[in-house]
Homo-oligomer: A and B are copies of this chain.
């Protein structure tokens, strides 16, 4: 069908009239183009440069954080530039202060306090309207673009967003390479000027990866200035827009936004009215404030789920690490290729290494029940794992058909009888349409079988070919999966999806993401021992990570003789992760038989909370150490965690967060004196001491080590 008739033109007299009035007001508003944070420490300035080029600067305690940086877009098509010829039509300001209660989180309540300035621009050459809205918090700046409803801008396609972040010097950066398809890289710490030289080495192999520039990096990006200011660049509320990367001009030290393209290189399809995600700039002299910031969440909308009673933090185990290490397999047969609905798995010869068999699953359920875990995840339960990746296979999984040796109903009844929930696994293999086709059926199947949470996965390159993991089309998909799940009261833990941007405030059923280099890489050759001292600064801005800690056996060849990988961590470090890497979803990832060898250490994993009334960041230096104390929700019990980088270090922990006058018993799980991630990771000590709010604990952490403390009021 073809159409040659378009709707006729429309008059917008009323709107035009409104803007004439706005213009009259603009003169009085012009001097209001500065904005201060509530505490007065930050000063953001909107600047209209000659030629009508919009820009901004950001200062912290009178020191520049962001030098004069341009704002704007290039559009596809005829009237391309949205970067110049602007005039300020109006400026509005506001102040906002609320305290909201997260469904789960590091603190019982969150304060959302900012001053706001909206600069309403008109591009005189085109009559197009653009608003830049700034929100300045005590921890930093968020700003976004808004496209009001207007006659001269309806639907449009982004060629590129041209937002600059002009650095004030050759800062130290903690970065991973820019990539359209994965964040699963080790962090590199270097000067900005060194990125170009280091980037090739930083791009380690991945099943799906698309780097785009020799100076392209991902957000959230952490920076440290020569005079000790920490800066974090990221985004908030990434909805119906492409994921933003940053591309560095390493002559000028200016980062520019670099959106993820679709198959033809377009960077986004928008229509007015709409808003972009927030571009965020946190800054502090104190690294701990970066960790504690809730600015990203605050820039997201309040929860759209009214009844949140079904959303609950989860501590779980899983039939997973044994497949990751190669001890067992996801697949059931050695068939080189299978066709769902045609391959007769019941008649096929099993290879005998299938992890998700009923007996093995029941073993995990028994262990989980015995030690008080909430749930058990099982991967590889459903047919299709024989040829599930690397083939662009459209109909790769159906998410409802188990292998013959996985008894869905029997397992569910067994788990229920033991008081354990089952966690569903939906690996899409990035065959996105197939997953969406099956999604409702799959979610219904979950509810019918008592599953309340799903771990979803997007391994491999996206099908349809040409889309990327972080393009708008995919951002849209992840969001759809979350919102559909909410309809079924299902919690989502999405792996290989885009890194979070605080959307869990709005959709608190998004209880986890991977979106970084997780523990699995310890079985794929190992991660840097200081990796976990960096994740909270970058990856955890925006939302929790399903890092899957708790590995006690660091020598992977003990599980699978063919796998020579080594876990670069001590047992004490592994325990500390339950505190330092905040998540409402925490796994004890190792095998039951490995925990049974270290039941005294395992006690900490059993005891540690997954939801908190309060969190105190006690010490922090990215790449070196993080020490956190958290107060368990409702119980008054405290847990402290410390993770340490390559250098042995002694922490001094003041317990002044404890209630004065009360007596507590602290159980300290620490590295043994001779512990080392490399050659002696299983050396640990456990000691119990009496403490009060006046106590100070000194504790040594080994290279790649750490400590974990459980503090309970003494009887």
- For A, the interface residue count at a CB cutoff of 8 angstroms equals 67
Known: A337-B155, A337-B271, A524-B2. A262 touches B466 (CB 8 A): yes
Most chain B CB neighbours (cut-off 10 Å) among A2, A151, A266: A2
Is A4's beta carbon under 8 Å from chain B? Answer: yes
Bound-complex Cα distance A307 to B350 (A): 37
Beta-carbon contacts under 8 Å, A439-477 to B? 440, 457, 459, 463-467, 473, 476-477
Interchain CB contact under 8 A, A393 and B467: no
Bound-complex Cα distance A272 to B343 (A): 12
Bound-complex Cα distance A521 to B436 (A): 36
Bound-complex Cα distance A326 to B8 (A): 11
Q: Is the interface of A mostly helix, strand, loop or mixed?
A: loop
Contacts of A2 in B (CB 8 A): 184, 205-207, 459, 520-521, 524
Bound-complex Cα distance A348 to B713 (A): 63
Binding-face segment, A213-221, A384-392, A503-511:
A384-392
Task: Indicate how many identical chains form the complex.
Answer: 2
Is A18's beta carbon under 8 Å from chain B? Answer: no
Binding-face segment, A126-134, A328-336, A358-366, A648-656:
A328-336
**Shortest Cβ distance from A520 into B: residue:** B1
**Shortest Cβ distance from A336 into B: residue:** B154
Bound-complex Cα distance A424 to B351 (A): 50
Bound-complex Cα distance A508 to B606 (A): 60
Known: A437-B436, A466-B466. A3 touches B389 (CB 8 A): yes
Interchain CB contact under 8 A, A269 and B393: yes
Chain B's nearest CB lies how many Å from the CB of A205? Answer: 8
Beta-carbon contacts under 8 Å, A366-398 to B? 386-387, 389-394
Q: Which of B207, B464, B480 interacts with A467 by CB under 8 Å?
A: B464
Interchain CB contact under 8 A, B7 and A329: yes
Interchain CB contact under 8 A, A154 and B387: yes
Is A13's beta carbon under 8 Å from chain B? Answer: no
Is A45's beta carbon under 8 Å from chain B? Answer: no
Q: Interface readout for A507-527 with B: 1 if CB under 8 Å, 0 if not?
A: 000000010001011001100
Interchain CB contact under 8 A, B4 and A263: no
Is A161's beta carbon under 8 Å from chain B? Answer: no
Known: A264-B263, A271-B387, A337-B154. A1 touches B466 (CB 8 A): no
Is A164's beta carbon under 8 Å from chain B? Answer: no
Contacts of A391 in B (CB 8 A): 154-155, 269, 271
**Shortest Cβ distance from A271 into B: residue:** B337
20 contacts between A and B (CB under 8 A): A1-B457, A1-B514, A2-B205, A2-B459, A3-B207, A7-B329, A154-B387, A155-B387, A155-B390, A263-B263, A263-B466, A263-B467, A266-B465, A269-B391, A269-B394, A273-B339, A394-B473, A440-B440, A464-B464, A465-B466
